[in-house]
Structure 1
Amino acid sequence: MKKIYIAGPDVFEPDSVAIGKNLVQLCQKYGYEGLYPLDNIVDFSQQKHKIAQNIFDANIAMIQEADIVIANLNPFRGKEPDSGTVFECGYAYGLKKEVYGYLSPACNYIDRFTEDERFAKEGSFYDLDARVIEDFDYPLNLMLSCSTKIIEGSFETVLKFLKGRE
């Protein structure tokens, strides 16, 4: 049975344990074993840096154990996905794992900026701080979009996609 590492900022939600249980159950429904970061056992009585290192090491071990990573790439605290999730995708890609992300909607990145949040100049778009906004017809930064199969929808949408290619 293939193992799926479940990446995403869901671990920060108030009901993160219940979310994880649901995602693991969805994996089982489609014939996979789900690995959810909060299933790791960490001693929270230590110093903060030691706790952080233990969480990092445990998540790295889970990614190494997994065959596939499915990541929640929806915006988190802004227009971009969670930075920890992005790291996990890149790490898994470097290990030659299958990496999938879900996003809703999966519109072009440039379209995440309203007319009031961007301006055009010399054929390019810029944010209000005059920084170029990528426009490659991808839903996210090219580094993530070129390394991760991004699917519009939900975690279950990705599971259905995976089952459909078997």
Structure 2
Amino acid sequence: MTQGPRPRLYLAGPDVFLPDPMAAAAAMKSICEGLDLEGVFPTDNALSPMAGEGGAAFAARIRAANLALIHAADGVIANCMPFRGPSVDDGTAYEMGFAAALGKPVFPWSGDIRPLLQRTQARQYLAHDGRVWRDADQMEVEEFDLPVNLMLVDPATGPVAPSFTEAARSAARWFRSAAN
């Protein structure tokens, strides 16, 4: 058990788009609680569109509220499952970068930890030009044997975990060792 308040972790990821995001949030928060962590889910802001508010204005309020949650958190556990393609959700990647820029630890996880190259190959035709793999737009597909883009992996917090539970355990260990 940690001394003082439990570390607060923002639970980043496209889980907010699930058919029942509140059930997902409850499950993740329960796992966190069992590890003496506090999970904070993006919908904890409980925002609704205001009368006459346009989509862009509502989106800006959601963004500001989520960034405030990250700012107030001690770290981030990020769902890096492929989202609408072979890569992590772009909003999640942004939140991970924001947390990292604030000096907060980020603990990524994905149920699909195949290398990004393999996941990309499974979703689209790639060609090897004799040096590197390229997609249909002739863009190189990085080949570092990582399940996510190299910028989303921090050696200080460990590799991409294969599940939310494992990422939460990594976070709990990290905060325990940081407290000592």
- TM-score with structure 2 setting the length: 0.84
Tell me the alpha carbon deviations over residues 73-118 of structure 1, each in whole angstroms, 9 at most, x when there is no partner. 0000111111100000000000000001101232222121149721
In structure 2, list runs of 5 or more residues that go unmatched: 1-5
Aligned CA distance change for structure 1 residues 116 and 50 (closer, same or farther; 3 Å): closer
Q: 2:129 aligns with which of 121, 131, 139?
A: 121
Alignment match, 1:162: 171
1 CA distance for matches of 2:124 and 2:68?
44
Aligned CA distance change for structure 1 residues 34 and 130 (closer, same or farther; 3 Å): same
Match status 1:33 vs 2:41: no
2 CA distance for matches of 1:42 and 1:136?
39
2 CA distance for matches of 1:110 and 1:27?
32
Secondary structure of 1:90's match? helix
Q: 2:144 aligns with which of 131, 136, 139?
A: 136
Match status 1:71 vs 2:78: yes
Alignment match, 2:3: none
Q: Which structure has more strand as a fraction of its residues?
A: 1
Tell me the alpha carbon deviations over residues 102-153 of structure 1, each in whole angstroms, 9 at most, x when there is no partner. 0123222212114972121122111233221111222222222358744231
Cα contact 2:86–2:116 (8 A) shared by 1: no
Greater shift after overlay, 79-88 or 37-46? 37-46
Aligned CA distance change for structure 1 residues 50 and 126 (closer, same or farther; 3 Å): same
Aligned CA distance change for structure 1 residues 138 and 50 (closer, same or farther; 3 Å): same
- TM-score with structure 1 setting the length: 0.90
Q: How does 1:41-120 map to 2 (within 5 A)?
A: 41-45=46-50, 46-112=53-119, 113-114=121-122, 117-120=125-128
Question: Stretches of 4+ moved more than 6 A in 1?
Answer: none
